[in-house]
Copies of this chain bind each other. A is one copy, B any other.
Amino acid sequence: MMKNRANILIEALPYIKNFYGSTIVIKLGGHVVVQEELLEHIVRDVVLLKYVGMKPVIVHGGGPEISRVMEEMGIKPKIVDGLRVTDEKTIEVARMVLIGNVGTKIVSMIGQEGVKAIGLSGKDGKLFTAKKKGTKRITVEGEKREIDLGFVGEIEEINPEMIEIVTEKSLIPVISPIGIDSDGNSLNVNADTVAGEMANKLGAQKLIMMTNVPGVLRDTNDEDSLISQISPQKAQELIKEDIIKDGMIPKVKACIDASKDRVEESHIINAKREHSLLLEIFTDEGVGSMIKKDN
């Protein structure tokens, strides 16, 4: 069995070489971060990537956890005609939960594995600024109305210097998707988007979205309909054709955006599958769906 270990290390060598020194942006979905044991396994995988010479950068979500705390605080989600509105109370909870709870927990787990990490949000060293998405036009009973989405933002500018400062000191950055606008307001930014734009800005070699589904499915009820590889153009079409839908849309869009510029390979994989992160990096087959330009 010992010999087996040695053989496998040697089999992994070409993959280690290939990604040596590479920045890998890993997005941990909101459903992933609430599963303590699962998260511990993923963190250990991330730490392995760090030790074999890669530069992992974590971006996390936290929707379910925000909902749980809001519930505990007796705050009802404000839904206007099906659209969630992030009022002042909601953003306060989001900020507390994402930065103070989820981000901190991940930093702490990485520390337990012997590697230093640091929690960062858009405010720290002005890592990224955001602006309010503003209003959305909807039609209610034939009447056009505009509703203000509140403290929901989109990224305006990324200042990657902060990431460079900490990775140079061998820290793993753990990014919570809270931005700041020019008035100093906290804004909730979609974590998929943050991961995608961060990967792009950092010139990451890979963007890996760790979700609770196997990847992009043609039929969401059939795991066998998994699309292993798809070009950004084709992915765009599938969105239009409503084959890619709901929560998968921002993930795929983030991958498409990342692939436009510097990131060659983006992946949507199932976090629940054991070691899916390692399998993605250390095998040729990979797991889940890869968004990659046709050559």
Q: Select one of B72, B118, B184 contacting A111, CB under 8 A.
A: B184
Given A99-B99, A111-B180, A118-B124, A275 and B51 contact (CB-CB distance below 8 Å): no
**CA A9 to CA B16, docked complex, whole Å:** 11
Mark out the residues of chain A between 83 and 102 whose CB falls within 8 Å of any chain B CB in the assembled complex. 92, 95-101
Given A99-B100, A111-B180, A16 and B52 contact (CB-CB distance below 8 Å): yes
Number of copies of chain A assembled together: 6
Query: Chain A's interface: helix, strand, loop or mixed, by majority?
Result: helix
Chain B residues, CB < 8 A from A124? 107, 117-119
Identify which of A41-49, A145-153, A254-262 touches chain B: A41-49
User: Beyond A3-B279, A7-B275: 6 further Cβ-contacts under 8 Å?
Assistant: A5-B283, A6-B278, A16-B48, A111-B184, A116-B125, A118-B125
A-B contact pairs, 10 of them (CB 8 A): A6-B275, A6-B278, A17-B51, A69-B73, A74-B74, A96-B100, A96-B101, A104-B121, A104-B123, A111-B126
Residues on A facing B (Cβ under 8 Å) = 2-13, 16-17, 20, 44-45, 47-48, 51-53, 69, 72-74, 92, 95-101, 104, 107-109, 111-112, 114, 116-121, 123-126, 162, 165-166, 169, 171, 178, 180, 184, 186, 274-275, 278-279, 282-283, 285
